[in-house]
Chain A
């Protein structure tokens, strides 16, 4: 499937999802990848969504807009507002 889905769209979609559940639910990277496919399956195939999803996570982490956390498994969330050990 030819796709017009851009990395920027995926990044913003992921960021909004992470922000919307912050403090209520913890999302794993794979939850975000699946969410992207569900949201954009009419515009891109699974392979493209997966590739863009992976790049989007990298972008969110490298830019500091999101961080990894560990609570028995690895999750992605917004950086803490206060000290890191709060």
Chain B
């Protein structure tokens, strides 16, 4: 084992350390040892030595394998290729231990043994293999009933929270919808054909455990149309240990609650479904019974341009029902057509909407503008009126 004084610093402290994990893998893997040495050199030189992209993948697929090469292969021959493979995770990230062991055994045999559980899009990420190993890995994954995920300008691997499988707040069946979308759009997932990436994310309630509102091009976030369910006896129990006025009522962003020391009153018409009160008193409050989801669009992390948050497109839809599901798919496909025809290279849908203007975008996809779509008050005082034709 070679000296890695700079990396050793990252092992100090009480936290888990990726350096520790790479060192463990390096005991059995020359690839991991070279990775460790290269990383130390990068820290020492303050230079990254990785090259990214190129032509690499498995037959028939255009995504799921990210080509990585070291810029100084003569010094680090074992990481000459260090490709990443994204594996489509199961909905809700449920695995059996047998499945995980099988994947790890396969990866010890064909790759570096290093994994990332999970990437920010949600995939199970296998870090570091060579071009020659890609097809054997793909064959093994298929035998284990896993498939490769998305990368490049395609539908990225859809992800969802665990929804109704474990969470009573789930307002729609996130796992079911995520699975259906994944299966329906296999072609778009494996064959990049868009101007840039497209992310589907499904969160069962406004807590948004998969961070859809900040990451996804199209977010499905559970919500409800009726009143918050309230158990007054349980509220009274909370009042014994919780300062309801200070910690719940005064933190309500729309100030729609009152507490008189005895009774909690919620003005549901003014509730913005932030979930704070429900999170604070989960035994007393719950989302309403008339549940569905809101569809938002346009988020992205800062890569080319700055970060963007999603904005509302469809305030409420019962996507669990087949008819509504199909209607949503039709809108999605309409958006893809327009974005594919008119979008610039590496332009996310949020940036596209900003460029063409939301009113033009809505007109093109056939959605009626409604007040809920307004993200913020206009800062331009000039209003252009179009003369309507009779």
**A interface, CB within 8 angstroms of B:** 28-30, 33-34, 54, 57-58, 61-62, 64, 67-74, 77, 79-80, 83-85
Contacts and interface: CB of A to CB of B under 8 A. Distances in A.
Contacts of B196: 73
A64 B69 CA distance: 23
A67 B53 CA distance: 13
Interface residues of B, number: 31
Nearest to A64: B59
B191 A58 contact: yes
Contact of B345 (A62, A73, A80): A73
Given A57-B193, A68-B55, A70-B53, 9 more contacts: A28-B153, A71-B54, A73-B152, A74-B154, A79-B55, A85-B54, A85-B56, A85-B67, A85-B80
Interface in B177-218: 187, 191-196
24 contacts: A29-B193, A30-B193, A30-B194, A54-B193, A58-B187, A62-B59, A67-B57, A68-B55, A68-B57, A68-B61, A69-B55, A70-B151, A71-B53, A71-B54, A72-B346, A73-B152, A73-B195, A73-B346, A74-B192, A80-B55, A84-B56, A84-B131, A85-B80, A85-B81
Contacts of A80: 55
A52 to B, nearest CB: 14
A79 B340 CA distance: 25
A61 B62 contact: yes
B62 A74 contact: yes
Contacts of B53: 69-72
Interface of B: 53-57, 59-63, 66-67, 69, 80-81, 131, 151-154, 187, 191-196, 340-341, 345-346
Contacts of B193: 29-30, 33, 54, 57, 74
A84 B60 CA distance: 16
Contacts of B187: 54, 58
- Could you say which of B131, B151, B193 has the most chain A C-beta atoms within 10 Å of its C-beta? B193
Nearest to A50: B337
B191 A73 contact: no
Q: Is the interface of B mostly helix, strand, loop or mixed?
A: loop
A79 B55 CA distance: 8
A61 B151 contact: no
A74 B131 contact: no
The 4 closest A-B pairs by CB, nearest first: A74-B192, A68-B62, A74-B152, A74-B153
A74 B67 contact: no
Given A69-B55, A84-B56, A57 B191 contact: yes
B55 A61 contact: no
B65 to A, nearest CB: 9
Contacts of B340: 30, 33
A70 B195 CA distance: 12
B72 to A, nearest CB: 14
A73 B193 CA distance: 10
A61 B62 CA distance: 9
**B55, B59, B61 interface centre (most CB from chain A within 10 Å):** B55
A84 B55 contact: yes
Nearest to A78: B55
Contacts of B60: 61-62
Nearest to B132: A84
B258 to A, nearest CB: 54
Contacts of B194: 30
A74 B65 CA distance: 12
A30 B63 CA distance: 16
Nearest to A84: B131
A70 B152 contact: yes
Contacts of A67: 55, 57
A68 B152 contact: yes
Contacts of B80: 85
B270 to A, nearest CB: 45
A69 to B, nearest CB: 4
Nearest to B52: A70
A61 B191 contact: yes
Contacts of B66: 70
Contacts of A79: 55
Nearest to B347: A73
A68 B81 CA distance: 18
Contacts of A34: 341
